[in-house]
Chains A and B, each alone.
Chain A
Amino acid sequence: MKQVMIDVSRCLGCKSCELACAVVHSESKSLIGSVFEKKKPKKRVCVETGDKITFPLQCRHCEDARCIDACMSGAMFRDAETQTVQVNPDRCVGCWMCVMVCPFGAISQQREENTVIKCDRCVNEDVPACVQACPTKAIKFIEIDAFSRDKRNQYLINFRFAEEGK
């Protein structure tokens, strides 16, 4: 299975991923077009700042996804085909239980709509938009089984929270 992996050392914090993410989730799927859309397109990746690092954070599509366990409305589910974690906005009631348990803080509340949004890993695209947009290749889309553990760790921010969301 392919996963989005981050090489922290390469991230410059340019936020190209954020922009590309918002655009691909807009109606028109173009930057110019999305500017004029009634509903402002929203990004599902967030470039966070830490000690001397910037990190493009999005849903990790955890194997044991706490957000699915916590979802009491049946909105959060694992897609059988892609094994990704997806949210069905029609079922979401805005209880914020998933926000309460996501160890990465990767789920955003849409207060007006009373729903949440998160990375859907661009399942309808060949390559996720953030990956395509990253000018330094800090965000990669790679076959995870092909990597040794060491190599994989290089891509994860596997410091103190390493046990989370393998």
Chain B
Amino acid sequence: MHYVIIGASAAGISAAETLVRLDPDAVITVVSREKDIAYSRCLVTYYISGQISRDAVFIRSDEQLRASGVRFIAGTEAVGLDTEKRHITLTDASAISYDRLLVASGASPVLPDIKGIKGLGVYTLRTIADADSIIAEMTESKAVTILGDGLVAVTAAMALNKRGMCVSLVGIAPHILAGFLDSRAAGIIQNRMTEAGIRFYLGKSFSEVNRDAGGRLNSVTLSDGTSLEADMAVIAAGVKPELKVFGETAVAVEKGLLVDEFMETSVPGIYAAGDVAQAYDVVRNAPVWNPLWPHAVEQGRCAALNMAGRKVRYSGSTNMNSLNIGGISLVCAGIANSELPDYESFYLSDNNSTYKKLVFRNRKLAGFILLGKTEKSGVLTSLVKHETISPTQKDKLLGGHFSYTALTGPDH
């Protein structure tokens, strides 16, 4: 049996390791466009901030990778796919045939169509190589403007601020992290970031990136005409699934590659996992694109189990995030950022250091935000994954009892 995996990150490594365990005699080939493999993308801002070293970004050592017996082809892109002949082609035109293929190609940053955006001084932040370039260029007290209001933009802002750069964050949404936070929780974090010296320009975008005669970045113009001096710009305006390998091949795609409950795409024998995939979401009860590290690892393992012939259903994902920004911890899961009909929000505490919000829909815990005090949040995340909760559990939750013991027991 020959398994081929595209991508050597969260989903790809998890799948490869699972296949090694299940099918020790199989041949496993992993192709990676990046030269650096088996590292954690989530750590690149920690590397930029100086909290950890470059080495600490890697989650597997070279020895571990070698000992796994998996053949890694790094620094090479899969550029073509022939589903009839069952092979992929690489940049050097060589072909690799497969019995089962896992597409774990993740996502790539979106570069919005803005005048002057391409050129010196403008960076995206997705890879360790991107972080290397930013580190090489960053200079204390110089100005950096970040475009984006999501997690990558916010963590990059904090990292560059810690390095002494003058950071401005420009985002289209009315508040940061609007993908999962309400304005109240986001406001508390924004305040902390403002205290640290970060300036916000929200509800705006870049309209032009301005350069001097030598092509060097000197300022950006915002959609409302404001001009911000900038020595560096980081574009963190979202990511999109990396689907290039499919080219003209017909495959079911919505926001990501659609997969069934066994992580198989609409093309038999081709599976998908991680940021490239759109799998079942337990809260929304529909396929939803939730590009998150834990899901990538879990989906990679689940796909591998099915590729190896074990029929294992994917238990489903949900939107969930944890942050530790300027000493403020925050955990949230499910749907907690909008006031939808049929959803009831309860605010258990709301001051400048703690904020606790629970959201219910009928007999279900639909989501929550815990800011400040995040202990035992996993018990709530686990409840969010349940179809229903009992009235006793709801009472307990509303009473602020989040412990496993309080929420379980014979009478629940």
Taking Cβ atoms with an 8 Å cutoff, the residues of A that contact B are: 48-51, 53-55, 57, 66, 69-70, 72-74, 91, 93-109, 111, 114, 157, 159-161, 164
Contacts and interface: CB of A to CB of B under 8 A. Distances in A.
B73 interface: no
A86 to B, nearest CB: 15
Contacts of A96: 322-324, 329, 331, 374, 377
Nearest to A70: B294
Nearest to A161: B408
26 contacts: A49-B406, A50-B405, A50-B409, A57-B405, A69-B298, A70-B293, A72-B40, A74-B40, A91-B56, A95-B322, A95-B324, A96-B323, A96-B324, A97-B322, A99-B331, A99-B378, A100-B378, A101-B294, A101-B378, A101-B381, A105-B375, A105-B404, A159-B409, A159-B412, A160-B393, A161-B408
A103 B412 contact: no
Contacts of A160: 390, 393, 407-409, 412
Main secondary structure of the interface of A (DSSP, over half): loop
Given A97-B293, A97-B322, A160-B412, A103 B378 contact: yes
B293 A55 contact: no
A135 B375 CA distance: 28
Nearest to B320: A100
B212 interface: no
Given A107-B378, A111-B329, 17 more contacts: A48-B405, A48-B406, A49-B406, A54-B405, A69-B294, A93-B46, A96-B331, A99-B378, A100-B331, A100-B377, A105-B378, A105-B379, A108-B375, A157-B404, A160-B409, A161-B382, A161-B404
B411 interface: yes
B59 interface: yes
A160 B406 CA distance: 11
Contact of B378 (A69, A104, A114, A157): A104
A99 B59 CA distance: 19
B142 interface: no
Contacts of A107: 378
Contacts of B327: 111
Contacts of B409: 50-51, 53, 157, 159-160
Interface of B: 10, 14, 40, 42-43, 46, 51-52, 56, 58-60, 293-294, 297-298, 301, 320-324, 327, 329, 331, 333, 374-379, 381-382, 390, 393, 402-412
Contacts of A70: 293-294, 297
Contacts of B382: 101, 103, 161, 164
A49 B378 contact: no
Given A73-B43, A102-B378, A50 B408 contact: yes
A66 B294 contact: yes
Nearest to A164: B382
A85 B46 CA distance: 24
B380 to A, nearest CB: 9
B408 A95 contact: no
